[in-house]
Amino acid sequence: MDFKHEIKNLTKKYYSEIIGIRRHIHENPELSFEEFETSKYICSKLDEYGISYKAGYVKTGIIGTIKGKNPDKRVIALRADMDALPIDENEAHDIKSCNKGVMHACGHDAHSASLLGTAKILNELKNEWEGTILLIFQPGEEKFPGGAKLMMEEGALDNPKPEIILGQHVLPDMDAGDVGFKEGMYMASGDEIYLTITGKGGHAAMPHTLTDNVLVTSHIIVALQQIVSRFVAASIPTVLSFGKVIANGATNIIPEKVEVAGTLRTMNEEWRAKIKEQIKKVATEMASSMGAHCEVKINDGYPVVTNEATVTEMAYNAAQDYLGTKHVHKMDIRMTAEDFGYYTEKFPCTFYRFGVKQDGDKKTGGLHTPGFNLNEDALETSVGLMAYLAIEALKK
């Protein structure tokens, strides 16, 4: 069978249905680990397609199973995430969230719709290919500790165990119809840093009688920035940023407590551990030298997303065959984080991007913003390519 030709025909045939699925999910977003209605809807579509599944992993997660001829020959998995973000979609979009304060601002609606479309096509062709394909509909990508980790801890991928896992993600600054791949380390780890600085507060006009915890905090933040520039090797991409500082004083009141929250991103797991120890050392010793106390809490977040070389090369070559070479690109590293990294620790994987940039003067907006608005034409690429990659992976 000419799988490429057949998949392209089926993708066009079911395109309007896939768009409808994406719109339904977009209009009814749910936050991380609360995707109850989304999960029910996905299960209803799997029932409609005649695809078996097991639901309830981490409450809302689903593993679908499609068996082709000789199902034990090889097992692969395809992954999509389902959760939305706590963002109010206040833009005048044609398709808009009906749940105030919740929005699919990271494209997970497109990911889930794409995997359902891919599943329908693969199920229709199951008498033509050999092996088993698992469908991972995952909750909680946007929230620690991450649905990927929790689903695996509950044994979602133990029986059967996939040989490889493929995943995809929208990219707003890439043209719809294009895709991108990056072999090796692709996305950074992501840890949450929390600092609590305490000391004697008091009247701001009498600084000699108190510990200026705001000033102490300022020195700590500046000192921590030097970890990246002076402690970490220049060859290791690293970001340490603080986005939240709460000093609940007043113009003439120095508070007794200041709270700080930030993020650590790096591409090297060995250095990641060393940096976290250095953060604790610098913050506590700086506070102590100025007469204050600093409590440091670090939540270990997602690991580095590392795309296995052989799997990524296979996918890259197959994408060129399916889309044409001009639509397939080599990607650079990204300092954003993804819990797909947990899969890459356990299995050979590749995590690639598909473009969703709007045409002409239409605004796409950035990920994690109220203005994000993807080009639905991209779903023809995301559905068809993933189906083709799955069959190519089963062959090899």
Q: CB neighbours of 69 closer than 8 A, spacing ≥ 6?
A: 126, 127, 128, 129, 130
pLDDT by 10s per residue, the chain, length 396: 899 999 999 999 999 999 999 999 999 999 999 999 999 999 999 999 999 999 999 999 999 999 999 999 999 999 999 999 999 998 889 999 999 999 999 999 999 999 999 999 999 999 999 999 999 999 999 999 999 999 999 999 999 999 999 999 999 999 999 999 999 999 999 999 999 999 999 999 999 999 999 999 999 999 999 999 999 988 999 999 999 999 999 999 999 999 999 999 999 989 999 999 999 999 999 999 999 999 999 999 999 999 999 999 999 999 999 999 999 999 999 999 999 999 999 999 999 999 999 998 789 999 999 999 999 999 999 999 999 999 999 997
Vertex 344: Cα angle to 225 and 112 (nearest 5): 100
Contact by Cβ (8 Å): 283, 250:
no
The phi and psi torsions of 260 (rounded to 5 degrees) equal: -130, 140
Q: Which of 270, 269, 267, 264 is nearest to 296 (CA)?
A: 264
Q: Which of 49, 134, 42 is nearest to 82 (CA)?
A: 42
Helix (H, G, I), strand (E, B) or coil at 234: coil
Q: CB neighbours of 209 closer than 8 A, spacing ≥ 6?
A: 200, 202, 203
What dihedral angle (degrees, nearest 10) is formed by the CA atoms of 213, 299, 167, 109? -60
Residues spanned by CATH 3.40.630.10 within the chain? 3-187+304-395
Q: CB neighbours of 118 closer than 8 A, spacing ≥ 6?
A: 78, 383, 386, 387, 390
Fold of 190-302: Alpha-Beta Plaits (3.30.70)
CA 218 to chain centre: 32
Structure tokens that stand for 352 in this block: 């690639």
Structure tokens that stand for 305 in this block: 């997303």
Residues spanned by CATH 3.30.70.360 within the chain? 190-302
**Domain 3-187+304-395 is found in CATH 3.40.630.10:** yes
Half-sphere exposure at residue 174, Cβ-oriented, CA atoms within 13 angstroms: 21
Contact by Cβ (8 Å): 118, 312:
no
Q: Taking each helix axis from N to C terminus, what angle separates 36-49 and 15-27, rounded to the nearest 10 degrees?
A: 160
